[in-house]
Chain A
Amino acid sequence: MQNFINAYSWVNIHYLLEGLWITLEVSAVSIVFSYILGAILGLIRYINVKYLSAIVGFVIDLIRNLPLLLIIFFTYFGLPNIGIRLNPIWSSILAMTIFESAMLAEIIRSGIGAVDPGQMEGARANGLTYWQAMWHIVLPQAQKKMIPTIVSQFISLIKDTSLATIIVLPDLMYHAQIIYGQNSNYILPMFVALAVMYFVVCYMLSILSHYLEKRLA
C-alpha cells in the first residue's frame, strides 16, 4: 500500500499526465488526418476510377497487412533518406495516419457500398448531380452506419500510440516506463495507472460513439 502512496506522488502523476498529453495530442492529430485521408481514399476506391482505384486499393492492402510497428520504423528511419526528417512525435503521427487511413478507407468504402443504390438513383432522378447526391444523400447515411466501426478504429489508434515508445516517443507508456525503471517498487502502481488512464480515455470515446449512434439513428 505504501508503494502506491509513494508512487502516486504529485511529481510522478504530473509526469504521467505529461505523457498522457502527448498520447492524446498524437492521437487527436492522427485521427483528424486519417479521417480526411481515409475518406478520400475510400471514395477513390468506391467510385472505381480506372487504374487509380486499383493502385490505391493495392497500396491500402499493403499497409493494412503490415504491422503498425513496421510502419513506425519506416517513417522514423526510412523517410530521412528522402530528405524528410521528423521528430518522434511527427513520425508517430505520420505512421498512425498512414496506417489508420488505410484501415478507414476500407471501412468507408464498404460503408458507402452498403447504402441502398436506390438512394443514389432517386437523388439523381430528382436532378442532383453525382457529387451532390453523394455528399447530401449517400455519405450521411453511410456515416451513420459506420460510426461504431470508425470510433472503435479511433480507439485502436489511441491504444496503438503506445507502440511508438520503441522510437522513444515520450508518451504515457514511455513515461510510465521511465518512472518504474528508476524504482521497481512503482511497477505495479504504474501498471494500474496505465490501465486506468488508457481505459478512461478509450471508454469515454466508446460511450461517445454509443451516444452518437443513438442521436443519428
Chain B
Amino acid sequence: MISIVANHWQDLLYGLGQTLLCSILALFFSLIIGSLFAIFEVVPNKFLRIIARVYIEIFRNIPLLVITMFFYVVVPMFFVKVNGFTAGTIGLTIYTSAFIAETVRSGIQSVDPGQMEGARANGMTFSQAMRYVVLPQAFKIVIPPLGNQFINLVKNSSVLAFVAGFDLMYQGNTIASTTFDTLNSYFVVGILYLVITMPLSYYMRYLEKRLD
C-alpha cells in the first residue's frame, strides 16, 4: 500500500483534484438548474409545472451511467465533441439537478404558506416574495440534504472512470492494472474518497441535529 502511494502519489492527487473539481462544478450547476425546476413546480402555471415534472421524472429514473455515456458517445456523433471530463460533469449535473429540484421543492413547500401570503399582502410580486422571503428560508431547511447530495456527487463522480475522465477511480483502475496489486490500489483510492466524504457527512449530521 505504501509503495502504491509512493510511486503514484502524483496520479492520485491529480485524480483527487479532478474528482473534487467535477463534483463542485456539478453541484454549482445542478443547484441552479435544480432550483429553477423546483420553482417551476410551485409557480401557479400549469405548463411550467408539467415541464418541471417531466424533467424530474425522466432524469430520476434513468441511470447516471446511461446519461453520461450518452454525452460521451452519442452527442459527439451528431453535434460537438465532448471529452470525458465534460461528459461526466454534464451527466452528473443533469442527474443531480433532478434530485436537487425535489429537495428544494419540498423545502419551499415546508415554508409556512402564510409567509408568501404576508409578503404578497405587503405589495411584493410573486417572484419578489419567492426570492426575498420564501427561498432564503427554504434553503436553510435544505442545507443538510443538499450537503448529502454533494456527498452523493463525490461518490457518483466515479462514473468518470467509464469515460476516461482522469478522476480518482480512473487513476485507481490504471494503477491496479499496471501494478497488478488490485486490492491495495483500491484501498488507497477508498481512503482518499473517505477523506472527502466522511468529514462532510459528519458535519451534515451535526447541522441536521442543530436544526432540530
Contacts and interface: CB of A to CB of B under 8 A. Distances in A.
Question: Does B associate with A?
Answer: yes
Interface of A: 61-62, 64-70, 73-74, 77-78, 81, 152, 155, 159-160, 162-163, 165-166, 173, 184, 187-188, 191, 194-195, 198-199, 202-203, 206
Nearest to A165: B65
A198 B61 contact: yes
Contacts of B87: none
A68 B155 contact: yes
Interface string B160-176: 01100000010010000
A61 B201 contact: yes
A69 B161 CA distance: 10
A10 to B, nearest CB: 23
Contact of A162 (B63, B158, B172): B63
A70 B183 contact: no
B57 A173 contact: no
B18 interface: no
B133 interface: no
Interface stretch (B25-33, B42-50, B108-116, B190-198): B190-198
B12 to A, nearest CB: 14
Interface of chain A: mostly helix, strand, loop or mixed: helix
Given A66-B193, A191-B74, A206-B61, A73 B186 contact: yes
Nearest to B205: A61
Nearest to A160: B63
28 contacts: A61-B202, A62-B194, A65-B193, A65-B194, A66-B197, A67-B157, A67-B169, A68-B155, A69-B159, A69-B161, A70-B190, A70-B193, A74-B183, A77-B183, A78-B182, A78-B186, A155-B60, A155-B61, A159-B64, A162-B63, A162-B66, A163-B159, A188-B77, A191-B73, A195-B62, A198-B63, A202-B62, A206-B57
Given A70-B169, A162-B66, A203-B57, A65 B151 contact: yes
B58 interface: yes
A202 B158 contact: no
Given A67-B157, A159-B63, A160-B63, 17 more contacts: A61-B202, A64-B201, A67-B156, A69-B159, A69-B169, A70-B158, A70-B189, A73-B182, A77-B186, A159-B61, A173-B65, A191-B69, A191-B73, A191-B74, A195-B70, A199-B58, A206-B60
B114 to A, nearest CB: 25
A194 B190 CA distance: 30
Nearest to A70: B190
The 9 closest A-B pairs by CB, nearest first: A202-B61, A65-B197, A159-B63, A67-B158, A67-B155, A162-B63, A69-B158, A162-B65, A77-B182
Contacts of B78: 188
B57 A166 contact: no
Contacts of A70: 158, 169, 172, 186, 189-190, 193
